């Protein structure tokens, strides 16, 4: 099961991983855009792509899945 979940995260691009990290830390789209030097609209597109690839619909599901994969340990 863990391998399957990790395989989902492996589908993400490097930029999607960066956006995901910020999302899981609770950053807003505008903050993510400022941090990464991209447009807020681009952040939204990355977030949509991430949730589509991972098959989740909320940040809560995203966090649970990331924890399950061991990608982002608790407290990060």
What is the tens place of the pLDDT at every residue in 22-45? 999 999 999 999 999 999 999 999
Taking the CA atoms of the chain, what radius of gyration do you get in angstroms?
12
Q: In 3-state terms, what secondary structure has residue 42?
A: helix
The model's pTM: 0.89
Q: In 3-state terms, what secondary structure has residue 49?
A: helix
Q: Would you say residue 75 has pLDDT above 60?
A: no
- Distance (Å, whole) CA 14 – CA 19: 9
The torsion angles phi and psi of 33, rounded to 5 degrees, stand at: -60, -45
Question: What mean pLDDT comes out for the span 9-20?
Answer: 96
């Amino acid at each position: 099961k863990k391998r399957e979940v990790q395989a989902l995260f492996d589908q993400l691009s490097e930029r999607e991983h960066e956006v995901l990290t910020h999302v899981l830390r609770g950053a807003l789209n505008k903050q993510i855009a400022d941090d990464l030097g991209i447009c807020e609209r681009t952040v939204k597109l990355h977030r949509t792509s991430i949730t589509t690839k991972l098959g989740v619909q909320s940040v809560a599901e995203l966090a649970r899945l990331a924890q399950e994969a061991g990608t982002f340990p608790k407290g990060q």
